[in-house]
Amino acid sequence: MRKGQIRKAISGFYYVYVDGQTFQTRGRGNFRVKNMSPLVGDYVDFESDNKTEGILIDIYPRKNELIRPTVANIDYGIIVMSAVEPDFSSYLVDRFLVYLEDKRIKPIIYVTKMDLLDEKTTAEMKAFKIYYESIGYKMILSDYPASETSLNTLIQVIGKGAAVFMGQSGAGKSTLLNQLMPELELETGEISTALGRGRHTTRHVELHPIGDALIADTPGFSTIDLVDIEEADLPSLFPDFVALRDECRFSGCMHINEPNCRIKAAVETGEIAKYRYDHYLQFYEEINTRKPMYVKKKK
């Protein structure tokens, strides 16, 4: 029996990497009995007499697990956003940031198509960068196609970690990966004029070694659900709030209607960006009003 990592999954086959070799495997039937499904990124035990007929035996505990994309044990989430066509959305950035914070995955914000902006909108984008980096996030502004410098910066930040691409459809996730690893020749899609977003072009999840990093190319999607996030946990997913929350009058302050709230005061003075607080209120309302999910009991 050997230990390896699933780097690709297609049509019921799991491709396990170990010691510079890849083994094609299938899962055991008891995974279905246990309601377990191997994911790309999983560390597994497997048996194999050759490279094409292996069997997965067991899955090691995961440090995290994503549904969109379906991948496990991720260190970094690369939020790929377009500066224009489609337009940059701080709401969507913050939505992904909250999602990644909840999964304990470190975000990297990567903005494409900077060369299409005029002087005024370039200054606005740089202001976003200054704020996001002031609260602990890395934000890389690139031209389009990406310059060698910005790509090198991205790889240096990831280091030896595993990363997923996520963010706006049409922002250039597959294009970026093609630039990082041209031999992949991943299909890319044009922007739909009618819908203002790109077609989904990636058909499966795969971890690709790039330098010391592992990067998964994943289908583009325009938003994510916050179904796993509870109302009481939301304030802790905003690092700019966390830095000041101990100065609120009440312990467990939700920063909405409570008196002497340090967060609301910081929004008034500009210490916390108003758009961040507005997005917080939108997420809070969404979580607060969602319908409870009921699980049907087995007979």
253 is in an annotated binding site: yes
112 is in an annotated binding site: yes
Distance CA 149, CA 213 (A): 17
173 is in an annotated binding site: yes
pLDDT tens track for 228-259:
899 999 999 999 999 999 999 999 999 999 99
172 is in an annotated binding site: yes
Upstream peptide bond of 86 is cis (omega within 30 degrees of 0): yes
Between residues 10 and 193, which one has the greater pLDDT? Answer: 10
194 is in an annotated binding site: no
Phi, psi angles (nearest 5°) of residue 124: -65, -40
User: Do residues 139 and 128 lie in contact, with contact meaning Cβ atoms separated by under 8 Å?
Assistant: yes
113 is in an annotated binding site: yes
Q: CA–CA distance from 246 to each of 238, 249, 251, 258 (Å)?
A: 14, 8, 7, 14
Q: Report the topology of domain 2-61.
A: OB fold (Dihydrolipoamide Acetyltransferase, E2P) (2.40.50)
Q: List the domain boundaries for the chain.
A: 2-61, 71-217, 231-289
114 is in an annotated binding site: yes
Which residue's entry shows tokens 């009991």? Answer: 297
Q: Report the topology of domain 231-289.
A: Ribonucleotide Reductase Protein R1; domain 1 (1.10.40)
pLDDT of amino acid 238: 98
pLDDT tens track for 57-103:
999 999 999 887 789 999 999 999 999 988 999 999 999 999 999 99
- Which of 44, 81, 80 lies closest to 62 in space, CA to CA? 44
174 is in an annotated binding site: yes
Distance CA 83, CA 89 (A): 8
- pTM score, whole prediction: 0.86
168 is in an annotated binding site: yes
Q: Report the topology of domain 71-217.
A: Rossmann fold (3.40.50)
138 is in an annotated binding site: no
Which residue's entry shows tokens 């203002």? Answer: 196
126 is in an annotated binding site: no
pLDDT tens track for 188-227:
654 333 333 344 444 578 898 888 999 987 655 667 889 8
